[in-house]
Amino acid sequence: MEKYSINVIPNNSESSRKRMTSLPIRQTVNLISIFILLFSISLQAQTKTIEVCSSCKVKTIKEGVTLAKNGDTILVKKGIYKETQIFINKTIHLIGEDYPIIDAENKTDSVFAIKADNFSISGFKFKNIGISYTKEIAAVFVSHSNNFTIKDNILEDVFYGFIIQRSKYGVIQNNKIIGQAKSEASSGNGVHVWKCEKLRIEQNTISGMRDGIYLEFVNNSFVSNNTSKGNIRYGLHFMFSNNNEYHHNEFKNNGAGVAVMFSKFIKMHHNTFHYNWGTASYGLLLKEINDAEIHDNVFEQNTTGINIDGCNRINYKNNHFIRNGWALKFTGGCYTNIFEFNNFMHNAFDLSYNSRLNDNKFEANYWSEYTGYDIDKNGIGDVPFRPVKLFSYIVNKTPETLVLLRSLFVEIINFSEKVSPIFTPDNLMDVKPLMKPINPLD
Amino acid sequence: MLKILKYSIYDLLRSRWSYVYFIFYLLIGFVLLFLNNDINKAVITLMNIIIVLTPLIGTIFGVMYYYNSKEFTELLLAQPIKRNKIFMGQYIGISLSLTLSLVLGLGIPFVLYGLFRSTAIFDFSLLILVGSFLNFIFVALAYNIALSTENKIKGFGYAILMWLFLAVIYDGLFMISLMLFNEYPLDNFSLIATMFNPIDLSRILILLKLDISALLGYTGAVFKDFFGTNKGFFLSFLVLCLWIIIPLFRMSRKLRKKDF
């Protein structure tokens, strides 16, 4: 069945533009808005909906796409569609009804390859995208596109979920991506974004991929409310991406946690990093990050809460580090970082620091290992706290000594170093340690 | 031998020290579980206690018992009983009663807090097993020291020194050698060095079973490759057995020549 509607208002943009030039500005604006309104109504009115199903006139999605014109909607009914290589270069809206299944039958081709503006894809279930060692194959492959929406899709056993290249103003929302990644070489990323700007990636659930979300050369974008778990490499991976913000995400059980590398001006807040546990795992790996804001995150039970490598001018505030192996691990030169009002609770090591020079500020944090007192009862401990233990200093020099973890000898040397610091940096201390945790979690 | 064993156990059960020991463990167990209701976490804390205290108590108890019952032992020696049997009986008696205190003292609170329903049951049993081994090892070592030293004070001194060496100084030397020979591959060295100290061996055995082992990094992976396999596991228990057998062997040789 096809629905055609009638073009009600003729499109006379030429004559209106001529008139506009002679009018005052306010009227011009009014006219333009009316014009845009009318134009958009006329556009909508022009479009048609093409239905695709096994008993319809149009039986395959590919056929539907060929028939469609700019602005048309393709409504795909429930069923199984064994199709790949559907090329789209026009503004169309693909809507799946009751999650029609697109089965790629492990062919090494992407299902949708899109190069168009203002398109949208929603409500599909993609299955069995083939694995290739030479090509990037995704359920949806988008390039050179603006203003697109990809939402409410389910992807199962995919090589790459979505690949987005050289695009702007896209929304990737509420998708569910489930992979079966076995090794890094033979698997792809859930959402793979390259050279894009101003995207919104939100409310997606991604598991079992290589990287949950991968962003390279992506600027001014938002990643929020996603759940990324059980991926074999990183839950979220930033490379060379500046001015981004990610918040309210959950990263759980990933091979190595979350990696943010070579990026500037990134805001990370209200995220949960937990159970990234393994010999080479991190909650969050920061490599060459400058001028970032990290606040209100929870790091729980990671081998290393945050691994900080060559990062400068980062403000850490209101974060919770709970039961990690190392809460913070500094490697490489890190300068002018500020740690304020964080909770460090029951970590095997609160801090591992690699040099004797300290240019970072630790102030007013809560340390569960703090044993000082507070005579004037102002909530601030009267004795400074030194978060670097001698053993963590030794382990930094000779990692093999870690086999002595929890030996009585280690406790003794830690204690003696605490009493009179010799090896650990003199000025690396919290001079105002808090007596009570900030905003205690349940 | 059985009679003597029975006698020493009765003797120890009558003395208040094994009760003190039992109550001590009972208290530790209850307090630990009261402070954090999580059995898994309690097992980790317990590891520290077992690894440090069990050897210490075993050592002191062994030496003390030997010197205390010396007169009675001499009386027994006048009877037609083999020397070996008398001392073996005493040795097993002490070790068993200490182990009993340990197992019951820690077992009761943990069972009451739902050990059987928890996933920590394997870790806990390993902990108790290792603790029992440490009891047997350190009582044997203590008996050796006591047999070789007539002077009570000296005997105590040596025993404490032995504990101090194995619990603390050994690890210090171990750490220093690891730091000095940093440039060399040290995996096998650290494996072997661990084997030579029963306390270290027990610590590593338990650590590797807990998920904290992920912290151990590369060396931890090497250790896990070794101890994680059945072969490594049995080998380490064999070494623990050797730590009992060799002191006992020396004890029986010493006994043959000793002039009481």
Checking phi first, is residue B235 left (phi over 0); if not, alpha (psi -120 to 50) or beta?
Answer: alpha
Q: What is the pLDDT of residue A14?
A: 47
Residue B204 contacts A, CB cutoff 8 Å: yes
Q: What is the pLDDT of residue A40?
A: 58
Residue ranges of alpha helices (H) inside A58-193 are 61-67
The answer to whether the CB atoms of B175 and A404 lie below 8 A apart is yes
Q: What is the pLDDT of residue A24?
A: 62
Place of tokens 């060459």: A288
- Percentage of chain B surpassing pLDDT 70? 98
The answer to whether the CB atoms of A402 and B217 lie below 8 A apart is yes
Chain A residue with minimum CA distance to B163: A408
A96: β partners: A76
Q: List Cβ neighbours of A153 (8 Å cut-off, separation of 6 or more).
A: A96, A121, A122, A123, A124, A125, A126, A139, A140, A175, A176
The answer to whether the CB atoms of B51 and A397 lie below 8 A apart is no
| Residue A21: Cβ within 10 Å count | 7
Q: List Cβ neighbours of A229 (8 Å cut-off, separation of 6 or more).
A: A206, A207, A212, A235, A250, A251, A252, A253, A254
Q: What is the pLDDT of residue A18?
A: 46
Task: Using CB atoms, pick whichever of B178, B182, B215 lies closest to residue A405.
Answer: B215
Per-window interface: B 98-157 vs A, CB < 8 A: none
Place of tokens 């790949």: A84
| Residue A22: Cβ within 10 Å count | 8
| Residue A309: Cβ within 10 Å count | 17
Shortest CA gap A400–chain B (Å): 6
Shortest CA gap B181–chain A (Å): 10
B19-64 pLDDT, tens digit each: 888 999 999 888 888 887 777 777 878 888 889 899 999 999 899 9
Place of tokens 């290249």: A165
Eight-state DSSP code of residue B166: I
Total count of residues recorded for chain A: 442
Place of tokens 């500046």: A242
Contact A50, A68 (CB under 8 A): yes
Question: What is the β-pairing status of strands A245-247 and A267-269?
Answer: parallel
| Domains of chain A and any CATH numbers | 49-328 (2.160.20.10)
B173-205 pLDDT, tens digit each: 999 999 999 888 888 888 888 889 999 999 888
A188 CA to centre of own chain = 16
Three-state SS for A367? strand
Eight-state DSSP code of residue B214: G
Shortest CA gap B159–chain A (Å): 18
A116: which 2 tokens? 């168009």
How far is B216 from B212, CA to CA, in rounded Å? 8
A287 CA to centre of own chain = 16
Per-residue pLDDT, averaged over B144-161, amounts to: 93
Phi, psi of A49 (to 5 degrees): -115, 125
Chain B residue with minimum CA distance to A409: B168
DSSP string of B26-92? HHHHHHHHHH---HHHHHHHHHHHHHHHHHHHHHHHHHHHHHHTHHHHHHHHTSSS-HHHHHHHHHH
Chain B residue with minimum CA distance to A275: B211
The answer to whether the CB atoms of A397 and B182 lie below 8 A apart is yes
Chain B interface test: which of A403, A414, A416 (most B C-beta within 10 Å): A403
More confident residue, B78 or B4: B78
The answer to whether the CB atoms of A399 and B217 lie below 8 A apart is yes
B191: β partners: none
Q: Which residues of A touch B217 (CB under 8 A)?
A: 279, 399, 402
Three-state SS for A249? coil
Q: What is the pLDDT of residue A44?
A: 55
How far is A187 from A139, CA to CA, in rounded Å? 14
Q: Which residues of A touch B216 (CB under 8 A)?
A: 279, 402-403, 405
Per-residue pLDDT, averaged over B209-213, amounts to: 74
Shortest CA gap A295–chain B (Å): 26
pLDDT classification of B235: cutoffs 50, 70, 90: confident
Task: Using CB atoms, pick whichever of B172, B204, B219 lies closest to residue A400.
Answer: B219
Q: Which residues of A touch B187 (CB under 8 A)?
A: 400
Shortest CA gap B171–chain A (Å): 6
The answer to whether the CB atoms of B215 and A399 lie below 8 A apart is no
Chain B interface test: which of A275, A323, A326, A400 (most B C-beta within 10 Å): A400
Q: What is the pLDDT of residue A36?
A: 65
The answer to whether the CB atoms of B217 and A407 lie below 8 A apart is no
Pick out chain A residues at pLDDT < 50: 1-22
How far is B41 from B19, CA to CA, in rounded Å? 27
Report yes or no for ipTM above 0.90.
no
Contact A284, A254 (CB under 8 A): no
How far is A106 from B45, CA to CA, in rounded Å? 51
Task: Using CB atoms, pick whichever of B168, B175, B219 lies closest to residue A394.
Answer: B175
Residue B207 has pLDDT above 60, yes or no: yes
Chain A residue with minimum CA distance to B187: A400
Instruction: Please state the pTM of the whole predicted model.
Output: 0.81
Total count of residues recorded for chain B: 260
Three-state SS for A308? strand
